[in-house]
């Protein structure tokens, strides 16, 4: 008996040692399981030479040591001499060998954060050089080399130059000081405010490593619905502790600034951005912050939006507000990211149009260190949105992209949805601002208008769940965001490929089907949630599941009925000249793509058109039949995903296999729920049957309408 228990205990311990709980993300560094390749790598990499003592170079050296030891299955020595197979990493300042081997011009071309990885001979010895103009660039190069090994790429004759296309690549955490995370589905905030600054959770280091590995160089720690307390000394000291960890990985810390902070914290009578006392308050506050956090990045601000205070409370404009903060951080080289996510239910106008209407007239009025941060689409991170009309419409202002990595509207952390195709769809859209080829990516990388300041932000999906993101596959969205922030020209397929190889296995029997599964997942989600251009028909406030019937939210523009406008004559939001004319906010070339019912791609149909239930679609089906076909196809696709996943069992560790299997069953349930609830509800208007041959909903509309989720996560 005693022996059995001992054996069982031993097994549990062994199991937990071997368990793949997802904590290691895409930085698993397991020994290369392909023997010939391993031997090849072992011959090519024999030692490490990373001189220099700066915090970032120390991190780079440590990462190389850990990574190579894991991947090559043996300790790779650090040495001062160069011998065959040495990896030499550093900058001109730290290594004269690099200075001699890599021409300055080439280094310059790689830019301040870009890197060069090259096979060269030094004293007739073949070595691999990793170099950059900055320490951070070297660190990015180190991670890239490790990625090559992890994904089993050839290491002979390396000649890589890689430069980030966007300057500020940030995560936005919507984390509150009480550790809840707005729209977070992976547990509580990883910032343990109470134990900071005294206790540095090793997780902060792993967080920084993961970000640096994909080139993320900034993080906004706090929710856009801001709490002024983070600007008080005790919290700033906590922020400083985090900042000093992240600094070692080239990551700057930013905070959200609550516009009313001077009133709330120090009893000022006003927060009017033109009031001299208020301006002085922010100047002093900025100086104080930079005393504690010398490399502080700046502020992100949500103002006059969804109840947040802002300059308009004092009759001032967004530019007045942004400029006041910009002046406060300018002496310290800080920046201000001012969000364009504004809309008011007091305005009778289409919510789609409001950000453009408010911000476009302010073009040219912002200080040089301000970026206006614009969500990818005009409403709110829906499964599919047309690109935001502000892109290309404010040539004199650097516009920053805001994507949402957390799946607020895409099934939380229970649905497998790979978001790279959604991000790419927006980045690749042509605004025609300066003729053909004026893509959104060229707007935000600054090249279209020659801005030097450029940025992209992703609303993080990270929490204190052991696997960081809740769903093992949700990690791919963090990864994809970072990779696209570095290079928006990478394809969704390439990124999926890289991520799968590093996170699971290089076995082609796994990679190919798993990649297909990832790539198709977003379109399937659109099908079972919001096909044909439907949008914003989810449950009120918590945003969990379908609730297209909701018509009593606190504001009309939070009600699904505002967006789908279904009645017995048809469905959809007319945004043409006959309707709200939101289309007028786009260039004629773009408008033309969407403006006529006949030409509008069906994926955007109900975004822009009101369509009769019996309208003939491209398939020959009526709109109602097509809607049914889409919802049913979405559910079938999820079932197909389940089959694919089951077939991959031999290649996946039991722990993650089972976790994904269970979550996929939940996803299938939720897909059926979306389909049934939406079709039963829309059917009350179309008055047409769900075509025979489809499995009929097992529940009534009343059943779905009666569901309540008082403790849904994320609020």
Question: Catalytic positions, please?
Answer: 306, 380, 408
Shortest distance (Å) from residue 382 CB to ligand BDP: 10
Provide the token pair at 513: 């089907």
Q: Of 157 and 554, which has the nearer Cβ to ligand BDP?
A: 554
Q: Of 245 and 355, which has the nearer Cβ to ligand BDP?
A: 355
Instruction: Give the count of beta carbons closer than 10 Å to the beta carbon of residue 38.
Output: 18
Shortest distance (Å) from residue 499 CB to ligand BDP: 25
State the first-to-last Cα distance of the chain, in angstroms, to the nearest integer. 49
Shortest distance (Å) from residue 227 CB to ligand BDP: 13
Shortest distance (Å) from residue 302 CB to ligand BDP: 5
- Is the CB of residue 293 less than 8 Å from the CB of residue 239? yes
* Separation CA 244–CA 239 (nearest Å): 9
Shortest distance (Å) from residue 305 CB to ligand BDP: 6
Please report, as ranges, the residues that interact with ligand BDP according to CB under 6 A: 182-183, 224-225, 302, 306, 341, 380-381, 408
For residue 337, list its beta bridge partners.
300, 371
Instruction: Give the count of beta carbons closer than 10 Å to the beta carbon of residue 123.
Output: 9
Residue 133 CB burial class (10 angstroms; 0-12, 13-18, ≥19): buried
* Separation CA 573–CA 564 (nearest Å): 6
The three-state secondary structure class of 201 is coil
**Residue owning tokens 């919507």:** 174
- Which sign does the torsion angle of CA 701, 705, 711, 712 carry? positive
Residue 706's contacts (CB-CB under 8 Å, 6 or more residues apart) are: none
User: What are the backbone angles phi and psi of residue 301, rounded to the nearest 5°?
Assistant: -130, 130
Provide the token pair at 437: 């080829």
* Separation CA 650–CA 648 (nearest Å): 6
Closest by CA to 219, choosing from 204, 199, 202, is 204
Q: Of 408 and 430, which has the nearer Cβ to ligand BDP?
A: 408
Shortest distance (Å) from residue 224 CB to ligand BDP: 5
Residue 346 CB burial class (10 angstroms; 0-12, 13-18, ≥19): exposed
For residue 612, list its beta bridge partners.
570
Instruction: Give the count of beta carbons closer than 10 Å to the beta carbon of residue 125.
Output: 13
Q: Of 258 and 656, which has the nearer Cβ to ligand BDP?
A: 258
Shortest distance (Å) from residue 477 CB to ligand BDP: 16
DSSP code of residue 403: E
Shortest distance (Å) from residue 715 CB to ligand BDP: 8
For residue 120, list its beta bridge partners.
127
86-to-93, 120, 146, 433 alpha-carbon distances in Å = 19, 11, 15, 49
Residue nearest to ligand BDP (CB): 380
Shortest distance (Å) from residue 457 CB to ligand BDP: 11
Q: Of 313 and 581, which has the nearer Cβ to ligand BDP?
A: 313
Q: Of 224 and 537, which has the nearer Cβ to ligand BDP?
A: 224
Using CA atoms of 189, 195, 198, 201 in order, give the dihedral in degrees to the nearest 10: -40
Q: Of 23 and 188, which has the nearer Cβ to ligand BDP?
A: 188
**Residue owning tokens 């020659």:** 450
């Amino acid at each position: 008996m005693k022996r059995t228990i001992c054996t069982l205990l031993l097994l549990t311990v062994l199991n937990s040692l071997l368990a793949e709980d997802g904590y290691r993300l895409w930085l698993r560094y397991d020994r290369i399981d392909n023997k010939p390749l391993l031997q090849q790598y072992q011959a090519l990499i024999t030692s490490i030479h990373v001189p220099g003592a700066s915090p970032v170079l120390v991190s780079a050296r440590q990462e190389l040591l850990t990574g190579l030891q894991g991947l090559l299955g043996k300790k790779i020595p650090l040495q001062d001499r160069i011998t065959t197979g040495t990896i030499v990493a550093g900058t001109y300042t730290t290594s004269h060998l690099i200075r001699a081997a890599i021409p300055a011009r080439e280094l310059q071309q790689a830019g301040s954060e870009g890197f060069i990885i090259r096979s060269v001979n030094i004293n007739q010895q073949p070595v691999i050089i990793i170099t950059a103009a900055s320490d951070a660039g070297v660190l990015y190069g180190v991670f890239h080399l490790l990625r090559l090994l992890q994904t089993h790429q050839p290491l002979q004759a390396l000649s890589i130059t890689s430069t980030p296309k966007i300057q500020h690549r940030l995560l936005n955490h919507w984390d509150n000081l009480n550790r809840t995370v707005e729209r977070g589905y992976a547990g509580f905030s990883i910032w343990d405010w109470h134990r900071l600054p005294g206790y540095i959770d090793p997780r902060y280091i792993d967080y920084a490593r993961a970000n640096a590995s994909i080139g993320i160089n900034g993080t906004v720690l706090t929710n856009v619905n801001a709490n002024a307390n983070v600007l008080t000394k005790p919290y700033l000291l906590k922020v400083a502790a985090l900042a000093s960890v992240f600094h070692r990985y080239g990551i700057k810390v930013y905070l959200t600034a609550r516009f009313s902070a001077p009133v709330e914290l120090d009893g000022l009578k006003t927060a009017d951005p033109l009031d001299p006392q208020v301006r002085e308050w922010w100047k002093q506050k900025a100086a104080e912050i930079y005393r504690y956090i010398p490399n502080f990045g700046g502020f992100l601000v949500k103002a006059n939006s969804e109840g947040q205070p802002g300059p308009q409370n004092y009759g001032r404009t967004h530019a007045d507000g942004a400029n006041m903060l910009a002046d406060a951080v300018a002496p310290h080289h800080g920046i201000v990211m001012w969000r364009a996510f504004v809309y008011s239910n007091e305005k009778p106008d289409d919510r789609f149009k409001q950000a453009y209407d408010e911000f476009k007239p302010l073009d040219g009025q912002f200080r040089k260190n301000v970026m206006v941060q614009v969500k990818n689409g005009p409403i709110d991170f829906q499964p599919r949105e047309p690109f935001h009309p502000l892109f290309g419409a404010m040539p004199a202002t650097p516009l920053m992209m805001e994507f949402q990595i957390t799946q607020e509207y895409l099934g939380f952390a229970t649905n497998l949805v790979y978001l790279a195709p959604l991000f790419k769809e927006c980045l690749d859209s042509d605004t025609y601002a300066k003729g053909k080829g004026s893509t959104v990516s060229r707007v935000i990388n600054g090249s279209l208008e020659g801005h030097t300041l450029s940025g992209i932000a992703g609303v993080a999906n990270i929490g204190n769940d052991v696997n960081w993101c809740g769903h093992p596959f949700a990690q791919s969205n963090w990864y994809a965001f970072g990779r696209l922030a570095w290079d928006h020209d990478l394809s969704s397929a390439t990124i999926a490929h890289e991520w799968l190889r590093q996170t699971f296995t290089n076995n082609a029997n796994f990679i190919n089907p798993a990649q297909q599964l990832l790539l198709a997942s977003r379109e399937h989600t659109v099908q079972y949630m919001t096909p044909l251009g439907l949008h914003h028909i989810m449950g009120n406030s918590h945003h969990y599941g379908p609730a297209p019937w909701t018509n009593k939210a606190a504001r009309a523009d939070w009600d699904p009925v505002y967006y789908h406008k279904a009645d017995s004559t048809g469905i959809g939001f007319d945004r043409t000249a006959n309707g709200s004319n939101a289309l007028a906010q786009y260039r004629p070339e773009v408008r033309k793509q969407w403006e006529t019912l006949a030409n509008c791609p069906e994926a955007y149909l109900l975004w822009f058109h009101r369509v009769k239930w019996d309208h003939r679609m491209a398939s020959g089906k009526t709109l109602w039949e097509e809607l049914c076909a889409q919802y049913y196809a979405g559910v079938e696709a999820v079932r197909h995903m389940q089959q694919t996943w089951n077939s991959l069992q031999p290649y996946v560790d039991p722990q993650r296999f089972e976790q994904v299997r269970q979550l996929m069953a939940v996803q299938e349930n939720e897909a059926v729920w979306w389909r049934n609830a939406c079709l039963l509800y829309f059917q009350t208007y179309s008055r047409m049957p769900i075509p025979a041959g489809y499995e009929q909903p097992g529940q009534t509309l009343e059943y779905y309408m009666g569901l309540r989720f008082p403790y849904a996560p994320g609020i």
